[in-house]
Structure 1
């Protein structure tokens, strides 16, 4: 037993009682006779005896029934995360050792719970008592028989108050099928869901930090002003707030009272996808007008430029680095083409490029609207001629030179290199493989002509 620990715990208890007594006396006149009575009530032995009696009116919980319905009466559970089974989904088991236990019961006895939450060197008084700490036991009273009686009463806070688990007509219940015969009663379990109050409190604290914490406020400001920021911006879109307990949130639980009755609900909705690419009308070239706005393209070009501006030596390592940067941009081009082929055909029909609103250059029409070749003979003739892939390569070379121009001396030699890398991209999902599959499907020539050709 540590005498120092006993003194620390006893000091923390005395400070707690002194502060609570002072709060009450400050509201009274100095000569009020109630002052004497209060001082007597807050003598440690007197207050602890009363607290040990009143602790039976409350119960520590991690999973509570009252949030399901305020008039529900039934079993609450105290199940620390370590006692819960592990699984891949986020749940109460994810909270670890530092979790906030809640308390339910008579709101008038919540001061007992606050007493048991007294912090002593990083551990609560309740945790010390649950762990059987002898020094804490001696801090309660020099009379060990009385100290053990109080300890047993206090730690009963975390124990089920009845051996019979029960629900209530106003609590939610559902039948969960565990067998294979839907008509057999024994193939169902009757579940009575409880509110994961410790998890709800952890979510609330995290959301509050995201909404009002200084670090995220700085990140939000940088994002709004398009400024650089080393931190990470976090957001919870489409939050809902569920108020529990009305004007008396303490009637639901202690943690609910600390939150002012506010409980955050995360959006449980299918995502509302917004296309990163606008409709095809009015665009003259997706390479010139759309590619740069895809995620990863601007950072990729910046990294490429930064590398080239270091004036790297002309060796194999440099060539491999350059090939890697260009390959990443080609991947974005190929992905963009595949997405637009599918999305625009689905949204605007198989012959969308024949619409008078379409202003795309002919080579890009042939590239992005192959479905039209099945219905338009003239378009199919041009598609089959296979002039357009070389034109796409030419346009890609121009585009990449344009991104580097002004910072680096680029010209025809670089243009030929970028074009060649696109047309000969033979990666599994690359440009050449995609063209090979399309030519095979449409019985087109497998040779890509180097001439530019004409278009509709």
Structure 2
């Protein structure tokens, strides 16, 4: 598409049309030899008034649409519609009305006449020539022809591509139709309306663009990488579970419209399956003194990792770098699971759950501080907040983790204080997980403490 100069008014549209014609003329001339006798004929055919008169005749071969029949069935013949989204009634459900002023129209018909549509999509100051002509814009009309009467005829021809070509609405035997119950008596045929669904091509194009950005955009790539590595991230991660891709048009994608070509024939189908009930993967520390003994060991990945660590250590590996790396890899996996458990409980339960719900009253104080940090923001929890900010409790959590892991590994392994200190250090020095979690919460609670100070 040619870039229109941002002058606006008659001069802007006139310049945009001239630039468009010059670009297409040059493409034709580049294919001809300098002495080709057809050059003068080609140049004459691209004169402003001549080309627009020809385009006004050829516009009958195409139709601008926002709702198309062809994608329903490629051989269906019937009514297509061009309805500007802003004219549709607002609904709570997602529909074409949500596109408002910013939408992309589609075009169907003879591919040889698509250059006419490209002309009408030229923009000046963000407004297409077609939109301006539909609004009877005086500057757009003046840019078509010096004679107002001729300009009006050209305008009527060009905007006709937004009108249905058939005489009145029509459907086809290959088009889908359905009876929609609108009354109260299901046995009375008069209480049904026959609907002929059309493909909302402008809406589908907007959805495709949004899904493409959400799946492959740089921002989502960074968020996906952070999620994969279980790192903190300020952005939003977008995911579309069970997304299906419908390929439309086969080898002749243009048969279904110009936007179908732009999408490579791909149409995204969002999952509309009913939700399947799944038991929560996060158990609650009901009547527990610690999350380690029941909640943590219940996680499948924790059980697998503990088993792998026990088997590895019982094999009496050599004291070398490879052994240290393998041991740290397994410990890192356990720490990641521990950080995930804390985040899940903090997100699932309301702040103050460790005090407000008597089922959790037996939980060790250090684990209350660790797993219910936003309790410190409650007005009547000044002591809890002060204890949290003193930061003595993480070492206690680390010691409880170390004692738990020693207990899990005991048997053939002679484990004691030295190993416990190693496990504790591994948790407390985990920069990307445990420490990052603490830093984020510390910043928030520091701000809260500052705001409530007199």
The answer to whether the superposition gives a TM-score over 0.5 is yes
Q: How many residues align?
A: 328
**Cα distance change of structure 1 residues 116 and 330 upon mapping to structure 2, 3 Å threshold:** farther
Question: Shift of the alpha carbon at 1:259?
Answer: 1.2
State whether residues 75 and 167 of structure 1, in contact with CA within 8 Å, keep that contact through their aligned partners in structure 2. Answer: yes
8 Å Cα contact 1:9/1:136 also seen in 2: yes
Q: Secondary structure at the match of 2:293?
A: coil
Q: 1:352-408, CA deviations, whole angstroms, 9 ceiling, x for partnerless residues?
A: xxxxxxxxxxxxxxxxxxxxxxxxxxxxxxxxxxxxx6xx63334353257689963
1:236 and 2:240 correspond: yes
- Taking a change above 3 Å as real, the CA distance of residues 157 and 397 of structure 1, as seen in their structure-2 partners, is same
User: Equivalent residue for 1:179?
Assistant: 183
Q: 1:62 aligns with which of 40, 60, 66?
A: 66
Which sits farther off after the overlay, 244-253 or 31-40? 31-40
Residue matched to 1:222: 226
- Residue 21 of structure 1 and its aligned partner are, at CA, apart by 1.8
Residue in structure 2 matching 1:293, options 309, 329, 341: 341
Residue 45 (structure 2) aligned to one of 13, 20, 41 = 41
1:229-268 map, 5 Å: 229-268=233-272
In 2 relative to 1, CA 397–181 (structure 1 residues): closer, same or farther, beyond 3 Å? Answer: same
Q: Counterparts of 1:369-384 in structure 2 under 5 Å? A: none
Change in 2 beyond 3 A, CA 1:138/1:69: same
Q: Tell me if 1:93 matches 2:76.
A: no
In the other structure, the counterpart of 1:188 is 192
Go from structure 1 to structure 2 and tell me whether the alpha carbon gap of 1:203 and 1:146 turns closer, same or farther (over 3 Å shift): same
| CA–CA separation in structure 2 for the residues paired with 1:288 and 1:261 | 49
Residue 40 of structure 1 and its aligned partner are, at CA, apart by 1.9
Q: Give the match for residue 399 of structure 1.
A: 367
Superposition map of 1:43-192 within 5 A: 43-192=47-196
Distance of 2:86 and 2:185 partners within structure 1: 35
CA RMSD of aligned residues (A): 3.1
Q: Deviations over 1:104-151 (max 9, x none)?
A: 121211111111000111100001111111111111111222111101
Alignment of 1:274-423 (within 5 A): 275-277=279-281, 284-286=293-295, 293=341, 295=343, 297-298=345-346, 325=351, 327-330=352-355, 393-397=361-365, 399-400=367-368, 408-409=391-392
1:184, distance to aligned residue in structure 2 (A) = 1.7
Structure 1's 268 and 15: CA in aligned 2 closer, same or farther, altered over 3 A? same
Q: CA deviation at 1:25?
A: 2.6
**Using the alignment, how far apart are the partners of 2:369 and 2:252 within structure 1?**
67
SS of the residue 2:245 aligns to: strand
Q: CA offset at residue 55 of structure 1?
A: 0.8
Q: Secondary structure at the match of 2:361?
A: helix
Q: CA deviation at 1:217?
A: 2.0
Seen in structure 2, the aligned counterparts of structure 1 residues 31 and 221 have a Cα distance that, compared at 3 Å, is farther
Q: Is the 8 A contact 2:282 2:345 kept in 1?
A: no
Structure 2, unaligned runs of 5 or more? 1-6, 285-290, 300-337, 372-386, 395-454
Which residue of 12, 15, 24 corresponds with 1:20? 24
Whole-angstrom distance in 2 between the partners of 1:99 and 1:261: 19
**Of 87-96 and 399-408, the range deviating more from structure 2:** 399-408
SS at match of 1:250: helix
**Displacement of 1:273:** 5.3
Classify the secondary structure of the residue corresponding to 1:59. strand
Alpha-carbon offset, residue 36 of structure 1:
3.0
Mapped to 1, the partners of 2:173 and 2:298 lie a distance apart of 62
Query: What CA deviation, in whole Å up to 9, does each residue of 1:281-303 have, x standing for no partner?
Result: x98323887797265545799xx
Within 2, Cα distance between the matches of 1:208 and 1:85? 28
